[in-house]
Amino acid sequence: MHLRLDMPRNLVIFANMKKLIIFIALVLTAFSADAQHVGKKYKLEKVIEVKGRQGIAIDENYYYVSSTTALYKYDKEGNLIAENTMPFQNPDLANHFGDIDIYNGEIYCGLEKFEYGRGFNIAISVYDAETLQWKRDLPWKPESGQVEVSGICVDRDNELVWMCDWVDSRYVYAYDLKTGEYHSKMQCRPMPYWTQGIFIADGKMLFAADDGEAMWNIPDNIYIADVSDVPYTGLVDGTEVVRETAFSVRLDENGKPVKRSGKVAGGAKAGRLKLLREMSDFKRAGEIEGLSIDPVNDDLVVLNNRGTQIVLGMSQGPITEEGYDREIHELYIYKKVK
């Protein structure tokens, strides 16, 4: 805008004010609550102890933490604001939350019945972020090949919701955010050891990967892969072998693999994972869980458990020889350096 020298003074002031308002709006947009950009390097800023041991989701004002059987809401100073310790609609069918995400005021949770290395009755369970109360479930498709859900995240750009599988971390699975229908899956190359949580920003998926033990003090890791383009493959008519477990097939009386006909996964995208960060700055290596990026300032927030022995994903009690009398759950807040 060019100002004429003969413009009245009040019009000049108005024009300058208009330019100032536009500038402020641009600044606020740059720091708005949809930032969530992945960094290349992070520095530990602080650690907050929380009640939950499974997952973390973040909006403009709050941290949402999932425990195995509860949801918690904290302010960003670590003060507990609200909790739901009886979140399951059918406790006989479900006993486990994994990592979580938040989108449009709703918390997306991976729901299942988990028993020593296997998940049953999997669902995408949606809760209200204000009240922490259940709203609806999106059904899981066992034909996808998924056998457990350890974490969940929303791809805001492509309107997909993804689930990861701790038992068989070879794949992550995508569902249509609007319809709830199965979309496709991505093969992880190389495979992270045991995926505990996922998050998507900038078209990249972050994987929090547990190394499978909590005694030897070996650091867990975060990996990254491009998921900006995931073609639809859906479910198609076909034939496949019947799996007894994630890594074995059912055999008939003649020792031949049993097959079934019906809907099967129509294909998969090949995803290539790279190491983003080794979590060597945890107070003690134990069991890495969920992760998320703060939409306000791009902080990377990671949940870690320490102080207990883990067998097939389940706590066996505190490591008393190190002075622990309970498992400790902590949020590690990292500032993006670059």
Share of the chain above pLDDT 70, in %: 89
What is the structure's pLDDT at 74?
98
Cis, peptide link before residue 231, omega less than 30° from 0: no
**What is the DSSP pairing of strand 171-176 with strand 55-58?**
unpaired
Q: Provide the mean pLDDT of the chain.
A: 90
Q: Could you give the CA distance from residue 206 to residue 193 in angstroms, rounded to a whole number?
A: 14
Average pLDDT over residues 2-16: 51
pLDDT band at 31 (very low <50, low <70, confident <90, very high): very low
Rounded to 5°, the CA angle 212-193-115 comes to 55
Q: 244-256 pLDDT, tens per residue?
A: 888 889 999 999 9
pLDDT band at 162 (very low <50, low <70, confident <90, very high): very high
Range in 6-15, 18-27, 35-44, 79-88 with the lowest mean pLDDT: 18-27
Rounded to 5°, the CA angle 131-84-53 comes to 120
Structural element, H or E, at residue 10: helix 9-30
What is the structure's pLDDT at 52?
96
Task: Look at 227 and 314; give whichever has higher pLDDT.
Answer: 227
Report which DSSP code applies to 330.
E
Task: Please name the residues in contact with 22: beta carbons below 8 A apart, sequence gap of 6 or more.
Answer: none
Rounded to 5°, the CA angle 145-149-154 comes to 100
Contact at 8 Å (CB) between 54 and 80?
Answer: no
pLDDT band at 32 (very low <50, low <70, confident <90, very high): very low
Q: 182-238 pLDDT, tens per residue?
A: 999 999 999 998 999 999 999 999 999 998 777 888 999 999 999 999 999 999 999
Contact at 8 Å (CB) between 109 and 101?
Answer: no
Indicate the SS3 state at residue 29.
helix
- Count of CB atoms situated within 10 Å of the CB of 45: 12
Average pLDDT over residues 92-113: 95
Q: Could you give the CA distance from residue 162 to residue 34 in angstroms, rounded to a whole number?
A: 19
Task: Please name the residues in contact with 196: beta carbons below 8 A apart, sequence gap of 6 or more.
Answer: 98, 99, 150, 151, 164, 166, 208, 209, 210, 287, 288, 289, 290
Question: For residue 14, is pLDDT > 50?
Answer: no
Contact at 8 Å (CB) between 46 and 63?
Answer: no
How many angstroms separate the Cα of 163 from the Cα of each of 16, 31, 116, 123, 237? 50, 29, 19, 10, 23
pLDDT band at 181 (very low <50, low <70, confident <90, very high): very high
Q: 33-91 pLDDT, tens per residue?
A: 456 899 999 999 999 999 999 999 999 999 999 999 999 999 999 999 999 999 999 98
